Amino acid sequence: MTALPSSGTTHAWVVGRPAPIASGPLRPVERAIPEPGPYELLLGVRACGVCRTDLHLAEGDLPPRRPGCTPGHEIVGEVLEAGALADGFAAGDRVGAAWLAGTCGRCRWCRSGRENLCPASRYTGWDVHGGFAGHTLVDARYVYRLPEGLPDEDAAPLLCAGIIGYRALERAEPPRGGRLGLYGFGASAHLTAQLAVARGAEVHVVTRSPAARRLALELGAASARPDAPPRLLDSAILFAPAGSLVPKALEALDRGGTLAIAGIHLTDVPPLGYERHLFQERTMRSVAANTREDGRAYLAEAALLRPTVRAVPYSMRDADRALADLAAGKVTGVAVLLPP
């Protein structure tokens, strides 16, 4: 259990000026441990997953919203102090904080259960400091209770890789017993594949990485190939941030199939041919963040499924190396930062 700090500083990483990861856009700082305000919890960070979105933020694929922001939005933390109105939480509680950090609660999207589309939505590690740090503040209204008995390093990836994969799977709408294709097989896909298999899908993985193909087969995929699935698909999810894969994924869909694009960033999509890519009621959908209900539903399902999490541990002091390894394709599974 992390001791309650009475004062002092905490180690954190911040994005200075976004740039290619090899040039070192992430830099370490020491800053004062913050005090929680209304609705806020001060967390001692016990683990933080490393997401490709963190890489996009560091390299500038996503424009900075807050100068010197600390990345990290797969946070497992221990409550050290609860601010006013943060009801139901006490020191020592273990909670998870994810990508969605706040919404207005008043717009038509929030009022219709689509808070992920809120124009005023805020995000952990983009608008507010995230978990690449020893301590961080989170909004108690946007945190999750975590399944008991799940180690911190296994729980952290569930908070984005798992939740976003869950929403992408819902958006792809695979029929029961249908054929689902996964393009790319990193942190999110390796969790989504297990959820889909548990729901009865026949999963086909397309990835260039031999190690990722081996992992996919270990986790129950029916096939894992570097180029294309062996059969036409009922549904597909694109995890790789490569727009060039969109036409290939659409071509692999059977009639009436749906492609869900899971990433927040995608390179430009080449021109599509109507007959070749979209006719016969093929559908293409994007995925925009998640709702809190998505998070609660996925964590409840994960508590029963107990997915295998291929966590690759790094010290919090090595966050820059973890991002560089992710960019270089050296992480099979998901990198997780742990306290030094």
pLDDT single digits (tens) 65-90: 999 999 999 999 999 999 999 999 99
- pTM for this predicted structure: 0.95
Residues 127 and 227 in one domain: no
Residue 298 lies in a domain: no
Does 1 score more than 50 pLDDT? Answer: no
Does 171 score more than 60 pLDDT? Answer: yes
Residue 295 lies in a domain: no
Residues 153 and 13 in one domain: yes
Confidence category of residue 185, pLDDT binned at 50, 70, 90: very high
Residues 254 and 277 in one domain: yes
Q: How far is CA 144 from CA 128, 197, 212, 273, 278, in A?
A: 17, 25, 29, 43, 39
Share of the chain above pLDDT 70, in %: 98
Residue 291 lies in a domain: no
SS3 182: strand
Range of the domain at 180: 162-286
What are the tens digits of pLDDT across the range 243-273? 999 999 999 999 999 999 999 999 999 999 9
Residue 302 lies in a domain: no
- Cα separation, 87 vs 78, in Å, equals 16
- Cα separation, 263 vs 141, in Å, equals 25
Share of the chain above pLDDT 90, in %: 98
Q: What is the mean pLDDT of residues 194-223?
A: 98
Residues 138 and 205 in one domain: no
Domain tally, the chain: 2
What are the tens digits of pLDDT across the range 33-45? 999 999 999 999 9
**CATH label of the domain that carries residue 209:** 3.40.50.720
Mean pLDDT taken over the chain: 96
What are the tens digits of pLDDT across the range 274-311? 999 999 999 999 999 999 999 999 999 999 999 999 99
**CATH label of the domain that carries residue 153:** 3.90.180.10
Confidence category of residue 7, pLDDT binned at 50, 70, 90: low
Q: What is the mean pLDDT of residues 202-221?
A: 98
21-55 burial: b if 16+ Cβ within 10 Å, else e: beeebbeeeebebeebeebbbbbbbbbbbbbbbbb
Residues 167 and 234 in one domain: yes
Confidence category of residue 2, pLDDT binned at 50, 70, 90: very low
Residues 14 and 153 in one domain: yes
Residue 299 lies in a domain: no
Residues 18 and 115 in one domain: yes
Predicted pLDDT of residue 4: 46
Does 6 score more than 60 pLDDT? Answer: no
